[in-house]
Structure 1
Amino acid sequence: MGDLFADQGVIRRLLDESRTWAFVGLTDNPDRTVHQQARLLQERGKRIVPVNPAAAEVMGEPGYATLAEIPVPVDVVGVYRRSEAAGAVIDEAVAAGARAVWLPLGVVDEAAGLRALDAGLDVVMNRCPAVEWELRH
């Protein structure tokens, strides 16, 4: 994988300039990593959009069953699903017009990442937003 999906310039730009993050897999369970990452970014001024068929509202934001249902432009899609499910989410992000996808630690799908790059999206893979935030701020 190398640095293809860990470009420091892309990471910095996504953390500094993005406004809206859709978190696939976000629920109201504060013990889950996705909840902790979404909370951190929300506390730093990002708008959080929960994407989970079971989530009506999380962190004061309305939830959506799919990325396609989100009525506002999405800068970054956080893919908090297992690696084997990540490709379908990445393809959905491309179809929905997202500008970037971010896969957290342990979530890797290089083929889907390449598809997203080919479609013009920025891709960060196997990186933690909280760790990257602390390294930059």
Structure 2
Amino acid sequence: MNFRDNLIESEAGIERVVKASKRVAVLGIKTEQQAGQPALYVPEYLVRAGVEVVPVPVYYPDVTHILGKPVFRRLVDIPGEVDLVDVFRRPQDIDAHVDDIIAKKPKAVWFQSGIRNAAAAEKLAQAGIQVVQDRCLMVDHRRYGSR
């Protein structure tokens, strides 16, 4: 299989990723104090929609729970499998997380709206992980998740 097949851009591919994502680790999640920011209201929406969200904040070292769920500092520390890693990081900050993502082996990684990192996406795709770039998971979940 060509690794490019893991770079998901078609609507059918997006729909498959959304429907397969029952447990989502949110890398770069914000806390309730940042309620107006996408990195909190998107995972809040997912929780309301019945998705299991695992918070992985990058900052806020004193925070132990977000959205009532225990936080993890690294993806590899999360027990069990993760279907999707939803990434709220600036494109240039993603590279620092690639090895952690690959070590966790999620089925897919989702770079939120406005986030593209071709080198990181290619490395993840070559590791057998599907990658969606520059899309809002909340928008696509509303479109495909409830069908």
Same fold (TM over 0.5): yes
Q: Distance in 2 between matches of 1:7 and 1:61?
A: 33
Contact 1:79–1:90 (Cα < 8 Å) also in 2: no
Aligned-residue Cα RMSD (Å) equals 1.5
- Amino acid of the structure 2 residue aligned with 1:58: I
Q: 2:130 aligned with 1:122, yes or no?
A: yes
Q: 2:57 aligned with 1:52, yes or no?
A: yes
Q: Which has the larger radius of gyration?
A: 2
Q: Distance in 2 between matches of 1:76 and 1:67?
A: 11
Tell me by how many angstroms 1:9 deviates: 2.4
Tell me by how many angstroms 1:123 deviates: 0.5
Partner of 2:128, secondary structure, is coil
Partner of 1:26, secondary structure, is coil
Tell me by how many angstroms 1:115 deviates: 0.9
Report the identity percentage: 28
The alignment's TM-score, normalised by the length of structure 2, stands at 0.83
- Aligned with residue 100 of structure 2, among 92, 100, 120: 92
Higher relative contact order (CA 8 A, sep 6+): 2
Q: Which deviations, in whole Å up to 9, do the C-alpha atoms of 1:28-61 show, x marking residues without a partner?
A: 2212211111011111111000102523101111
Q: Distance in 1 between matches of 2:89 and 2:42?
A: 14
Tell me how many residue pairs correspond in the alignment.
Answer: 134
- Amino acid of the structure 2 residue aligned with 1:103: F
Q: 2:80 aligned with 1:80, yes or no?
A: no
Gaps of 5+ in 2: 1-6
Gaps of 5+ in 1: none
- Aligned with residue 35 of structure 2, among 30, 38, 46: 30
Q: Distance in 2 between matches of 1:41 and 1:14?
A: 14
- Aligned with residue 21 of structure 1, among 9, 13, 24: 24
Contact 1:6–1:127 (Cα < 8 Å) also in 2: no
Tell me by how many angstroms 1:100 deviates: 0.9
